[in-house]
Amino acid sequence: MKLPNLIILDEKDKRLRQKSKNVSFPLSEDEKKLILDMQTYLKMSQIEETREQYDLRAGTGLSAVQLGILKRFFVIVDEYEEGKFRNYIVINPKIKSMSEELIYVGEGEGCLSVNRETEGIVPRYARMTVEAYDIDGNLYTIRVREEISIIFQHEMDHLDGILFVDRIDSKNPFKDANLMREI
């Protein structure tokens, strides 16, 4: 497996604060290749040997905007069992419903565009139903929960120019933790 040449923007880059535009179908060959490269990059970042070989930070989600492309799509690569990956291609996503229950990542969220330690909790929905398109332009609906729900929300925020650090209360980083479930 060859590491794709992707340059991930740092949080200081103003493009990360812009709202991405809907993608039109059919996708171009360049867009399809980019999506596959994003998946390969994420997968390689989760395999310990390749992560060390290429000095990568582990990531499970990556939005086009993080590569400087203001289009509404992201990919998620979830290693659900050692060496086994589930891939999500999410284009022009829309939240159809969400749970009332809120959760947060106990050790804190991370981001490939935020290269610093951050403290605080990011309130997220425990479950969501999302409508999106796949790489071939087929509309689908998916119900996501727990960690995958958090990753979907994190990446969807990117599409709207929001970073996870924006969702942490700067005056009280652990505000309302007692009202949410830690995962």
> H or E segment at 124?
strand 124-125
Q: Which residues pair with 144 in a beta bridge?
A: 128
**What are the two backbone dihedrals, phi and then psi, of residue 168, each rounded to the nearest 5 degrees?**
-90, 130
Set 101, 146, 155, 182: catalytic member: 155
Q: What amino acid is encoded at 49 in this protein?
A: E
Residue 62, burial from CB neighbour count under 10 angstroms (0-12, 13-18, 19+) = buried
Q: Show the tokens assigned to 177.
A: 């933790």
131 tagged catalytic: no
> Distance between CA 156 and CA 161 in Å, rounded?
9
Q: Which residues are catalytic?
A: 155
